[in-house]
Amino acid sequence: MTCRVLSSSWKYIDISRQDPAADVLIARVNRSLITEPLSPRITASQTDEGNVVVTFTKVNCSDAGTYICVMNDDTPVKIQSPDSVLNIRRIPSVPVFDLTGHQIVGSSLNTHHKHKCTGDVGYPAGKFKVQYAAAGSSLFSELPVSNIDNTPSEWLCNSTERTMEFEIDFQPDMDGGVIRCDIYSSDNSLTTYSNNETIELIPSDICTTKDTVANEIHHPNNCKKYVTCYGGPQGYDTCNGKCVKIENGIFHSCVDCSEDVCPKTDLTTTAVSTTTSGPSYLTCGDISGYIGDAASSQCQITSDDFDAVILSHTSAKSTSTELLGRLTKTAYVAMTTDPIWAGLDLVYYIAGSTKIYQHNDSYCSL
């Protein structure tokens, strides 16, 4: 802050911060002798032009306010400068986002399990926003949230650590998407981003197949989470990285994930039979198996009039079809380099008078 001095006939200059009770003296400059500052964080100097410069080496919240320079000479008259305002700013911190395990599709019970965003919103106070990106996308957009609580309610310069609790109306197509919490500075010049959290939805009807409403069951997609069925599903993830073990379908405990406590997820793929023309010569059975284990299926061929059997795969979450392999009567040729299909094998053999080929997934076509 610079006080321009247009007169050479002054004895000393006071720099003060205005206060409703009484002005607070910050520095006093007596020509070349600086008799103050009153704080080690403030220095005062005089330029060759005779101006007085006050420097705050480290600004605190208490320094905010209106400052004046008052020139004193040998007369009782004091000359006061126009006001000079010191505005204090602080950038927001990186927020911390807590997405609870209670991610029930379209459930009113979400009101009992609010998600949380915590961080220093800076000064003047910035604001929280929640953003969402669909599964497989890096494009985030603002996600509407409801029942927002901000604490504490008083916004002071030296106390801007805030927590925002809120609810999310989860929809089925949000599964596998990513949510984060952001803090926008008051002038929108700076944005800080939290950790990303992946959505792992729980079906709203997950408890309807249970014999009692007092059950605890595994999360459908994550062995480190569990679901309680007390009047409705409620999701939890309180094992701090350990896996959940359910005892007798009633009580859970947190155990090391090396224990085989996660339930096997039944995977069923429906086979589809197609032919190029004429009657159906190919009949394939469904494939059932546990994730991580081997699975196989057989297709019965009732005609020798074909050149090759093509095995392809259509994911339940995609409409595109991936070609996996081509099987003739004498050889199998892989058609994919995806390592997930590294163990795939097709075999053609004759059982009595029936021609059969065996594969381990998807559907086949002549």
Domain that residue 321 falls in? 267-365
Q: In 161-256, where do the E strands start and end?
A: 161-167, 178-184, 191-193, 197-198, 215-218, 226-229, 233-236, 243-247, 251-255
Q: What is the CATH number of the domain that holds 6?
A: 2.60.40.10
Task: Select from 230, 247, 263 the last residue of a domain.
Answer: 263
CB 50 within 8 A of CB 2: no
Q: Is 139 helix (H, G, I), strand (E, B) or coil?
A: coil
Tally of CB atoms within 10 A around 120: 19
pTM above threshold 0.75: no
Q: Quote the CA–CA distance of 102 and 84 in Å, as a whole number.
A: 52
Q: What is the CATH number of the domain that holds 353?
A: 2.60.40
Per-residue pLDDT, 252: 83
Do residues 24 and 105 share a domain?
Answer: no
Do residues 277 and 326 share a domain?
Answer: yes
Surface-to-core class of residue 298, CB atoms within 10 Å of its CB (0-12 exposed, 13-18 middle, 19+ buried): middle
Per-residue pLDDT, 281: 60
- The DSSP-derived string for 10-49 is -SEEEEEE--SS-PEEEEEEETTEE---SSTTEEEEE-TT
Do residues 164 and 215 share a domain?
Answer: no
Do residues 258 and 271 share a domain?
Answer: no
Do residues 240 and 313 share a domain?
Answer: no
Q: Quote the CA–CA distance of 207 and 229 in Å, as a whole number.
A: 6
Which residues touch 331 (CB under 8 Å, ≥6 apart)?
none
Task: Select from 263, 278, 312 the last residue of a domain.
Answer: 263
Do residues 133 and 175 share a domain?
Answer: yes
Q: Is the peptide bond before 152 cis (omega within 30 degrees of 0)?
A: yes
CB 218 within 8 A of CB 263: yes
Per-residue pLDDT, 357: 44
Q: Per the structure, how many domains does the chain have? A: 4
Do residues 184 and 209 share a domain?
Answer: no
Task: Select from 53, 86, 119 the last residue of a domain.
Answer: 86
CB 221 within 8 A of CB 135: no
Each as own residue / partner, the long-range contacts of residues 67-70 (CB below 8 Å, 24 or more positions apart, any chain) are 67/1, 67/15, 67/16, 67/17, 67/18, 67/26, 68/15, 68/16, 68/18, 68/23, 69/3, 69/13, 69/14, 69/15, 70/13, 70/14, 70/15, 70/16
Which tokens belong to 304?
């020798």
Do residues 235 and 288 share a domain?
Answer: no
Do residues 191 and 128 share a domain?
Answer: yes
Measure Cα distances from 266 to 221, 222, 292, 329 in Å: 12, 14, 10, 33
Q: Quote the CA–CA distance of 156 and 159 in Å, as a whole number.
A: 5
Q: Is residue 135 part of a domain?
A: yes
CB 233 within 8 A of CB 206: yes
Per-residue pLDDT, 28: 81
CB 12 within 8 A of CB 72: yes
Q: Quote the CA–CA distance of 245 and 255 in Å, as a whole number.
A: 7
What stretches in the chain show pLDDT beneath 70?
Answer: 31-38, 77, 107-111, 155, 209-214, 249, 260, 263-282, 285-298, 302-306, 315-321, 332, 335-343, 348-366
Which residues touch 75 (CB under 8 Å, ≥6 apart)?
none
